[in-house]
Structure 1
Amino acid sequence: MDNLLRKLDLTSLRLFVAVCQEQNIARAAEREFIAPSAVSRRIAEIEALIGLPVIERHARGITVTAVGETVLRHALAIIGSVEALSAELSRFTSGACGNVRLVCNLGAIVQFLPEDLAAFGRVYPDVGIELEEQHSPEVLRMVGERSADFGICNAIQGVEQFVSLPYREDQLCVLVPRGHALASAQQVRFADLLGETFVALRDESALSRLLAEQAARLNEALKIKIRVASLDALCRMVHVGLGIAVVPRQVGELYLNTLDVVARPLSDPWATRQLVVVFHSREHLSASALALVGFLCRE
């Protein structure tokens, strides 16, 4: 019996089950789309391995021996386990089960991702998501090094080396204390802000780089009083009067009822930014990651 594990294959067991269920080799062969002689040969191989008959052949069909009944019981269990394995694995290949490593910039996380990931979780409850926050340049670096399955960042220089899909638009606004002279304006040009004192994110953020570039185009430099690591801290600095700040619109609106600030949209064309999903290729994404990309990008 030591050879059973190495020599008894699933195809032989499946054909044996069909013969037992049909009580006839010819009907079992027809059901399994195989020649009757091939079925008979498989049954004979099982009997040779066991050393005992599993069926008795008659002119009009077969009967299952006591040994055959034992083999049948275990064959059904084995085939059932393999089918259960297949069904469970299909959840991974369909994206219904697995883990996804995602790296995103702060704007995407604060403005859009919580609701989107919650909606995704309702459709794919068995997909785990590991989310890391980074500035847009760092998002590209991590995706490039495959430290994450995919990323979400602003459409900055460098995204062209990846597959990039549009995610959301990010509208910038200026956040000022409620008593500021610009608080009554309907919209503001960036050029009108250059005499103001700013609070800003750290230099490596895509937003800080963008503002510095736009100021340089106007032959100006921003007067920055303090730099912070988060948009939350940025808004609080404006609240206490340390300066004004340029932030994503939906971030600013989060604080209108809790902080003494006013948000006014920037009218400059560059103030509307595109957030993109970036990855190497669809072929390199797991089924779960591909499902999440499709969900976020509304594909």
Structure 2
Amino acid sequence: MRFDLTDLKLFQRVAESGSITAGAAHAHLALASASARIRGMEDTLGVPLLVRGRRGVEPTAAGRTLLHHARLITQQMERMRADLGEYASGLKGHVRVLSNTSALTEFLPDVLAAFMAAHPHVNVDLEERLSTDIVQAMRDRLADIGIVTDAVDSSGLETRLFKEDRLVLAVGLAHPLAKGVRRSGALPFSACVEYDFIGLAGDSALQQYIGEQGLRLGHRLRYRVRLRSFDAICRMVASGNGLAVLPESAAVRSRDAANLKVVRLTDPWARRRLLLCMQSYAKLPGYARELADALAAPQP
């Protein structure tokens, strides 16, 4: 199967416009040339890609599949063109980092701010994902650096310690669960799962991780509200509207910390080590190695 970018862009424009004539015009091709290219694609695949009618054309099931992939490929080409164009304006490097929620919200901002201030010609593309997804992406060479918990299997990747990360239970002082727990006490997660929770909004990797722990205990956690920051979650918990599982640093840092009980969870999954993972530190570009060094360095 041999399609070039002109074929894919032409097919996309024909399918989106519903007309071979209009698609050819958008692709800056003569109608005869465009029609020949479409027929050549159909002959190569052995299936029709378009249903032709008096009102124009529309993609077949195979054509819709091709359209989906054509869009992905052209979008990736545009992104590559934009990324490469940045080098002409003085950019010297681009590092892609995948991170779980805790590292992204609690630990990365200060380290990245210092690194980027010291490296003004390096861009960092940072994306939140689940640790399991990050490990697979790193094995597939889709990023330069990943930050994951030590609970996932990172075999085959080079790892370095990034941070210690303990998950705790935040409980409002008026909550029924708070009455039987000392401020410095600890509980198993199983003692909490029947209460209402406050969680992070959106497709948060941390929220998915916590939800998985509830399901392992046979409970789907009930969320009264989902908010966009740990500080907002702590304020809601302090008002007595639910419990929250969040990084200990976020609970302690909250301006409502005085109105919370921070209870350590006894479950092994709640005490985590965050690891940097890489395909090969030695094979990273110099600026990516410098970022890995900055992330692995002890932080005050």
Pairwise TM-score range, normalised by the shorter structure: 0.5 to 0.7
Of the two, which has the highest radius of gyration? 1
Instruction: Work out which of the residue numbers 132, 135, 140 in structure 2 matches 1:137.
Output: 132
**Unaligned ranges ≥5, structure 2:** 1-90
Instruction: Work out which of the residue numbers 213, 219, 222 in structure 2 matches 1:221.
Output: 219
Amino acid at match of 1:224: R
- Name the CA distance, whole Å, in 2 between partners of 1:227 and 1:160: 37
Query: Aligned pair in 2 of structure 1 residues 226, 160: CA closer, same or farther (>3 Å)?
Result: farther
**Unaligned ranges ≥5, structure 1:** 1-95
Is 1:112 aligned with 2:110? Answer: no
Q: Which residue matches 1:293? A: 292
Q: Is the CA contact (8 Å cut-off) linking 1:197 and 1:222 kept in structure 2?
A: no
1:112 is paired with a residue whose SS is: helix
- Name the CA distance, whole Å, in 2 between partners of 1:140 and 1:235: 30
Alpha-carbon deviations, 1:242-272, whole Å to 9, x = none?
4211111012223243895442322444321
Alpha-carbon deviations, 1:267-290, whole Å to 9, x = none?
444321010111211244111111
Identical columns (%): 27
- Name the CA distance, whole Å, in 2 between partners of 1:225 and 1:109: 22
Q: Is the CA contact (8 Å cut-off) linking 2:101 and 2:205 kept in structure 1?
A: no
Query: Aligned pair in 2 of structure 1 residues 151, 226: CA closer, same or farther (>3 Å)?
Result: farther
Pairwise mapping of residues 1-299 of structure 1 onto structure 2 (< 5 A)? 97-183=92-178, 184-190=182-188, 191-200=190-199, 205=205, 208-209=208-209, 212-213=212-213, 216=216, 219-226=217-224, 228=226, 230-232=228-230, 234-235=233-234, 237-257=236-256, 261-298=260-297
Q: Is the CA contact (8 Å cut-off) linking 2:167 and 2:265 kept in structure 1?
A: yes
C-alpha deviation, 1:222, in angstroms: 4.9
1:159 is paired with a residue whose SS is: coil
Alpha-carbon deviations, 1:124-171, whole Å to 9, x = none?
444332222223233234333433211112123342242221110101
Task: Give the alignment's TM-score, normalised by structure 1.
Answer: 0.56
Q: Is the CA contact (8 Å cut-off) linking 1:103 and 1:152 kept in structure 2?
A: yes
Amino acid at match of 1:178: L
Q: Is the CA contact (8 Å cut-off) linking 1:212 and 1:221 kept in structure 2?
A: no
Amino acid at match of 1:205: A
1:175 is paired with a residue whose SS is: strand
Q: Is the CA contact (8 Å cut-off) linking 1:165 and 1:277 kept in structure 2?
A: yes
- Name the CA distance, whole Å, in 2 between partners of 1:131 and 1:151: 10
1:160 is paired with a residue whose SS is: coil
Amino acid at match of 1:276: L
- Name the CA distance, whole Å, in 2 between partners of 1:126 and 1:133: 23
Amino acid at match of 1:142: A
C-alpha deviation, 1:102, in angstroms: 1.3
- Name the CA distance, whole Å, in 2 between partners of 1:229 and 1:177: 17
- Name the CA distance, whole Å, in 2 between partners of 1:259 and 1:116: 28
C-alpha deviation, 1:107, in angstroms: 0.5
Amino acid at match of 1:209: Y
Q: Is the CA contact (8 Å cut-off) linking 1:137 and 1:205 kept in structure 2?
A: no
Amino acid at match of 1:274: R
C-alpha deviation, 1:103, in angstroms: 1.7
1:120 is paired with a residue whose SS is: helix
Aligned length: 202
Query: Aligned pair in 2 of structure 1 residues 159, 244: CA closer, same or farther (>3 Å)?
Result: same
Amino acid at match of 1:292: L
- Name the CA distance, whole Å, in 2 between partners of 1:160 and 1:140: 9
Alpha-carbon deviations, 1:173-210, whole Å to 9, x = none?
11122322444431221243244223345787356435
Amino acid at match of 1:112: F
- Name the CA distance, whole Å, in 1 between partners of 2:204 and 2:155: 19
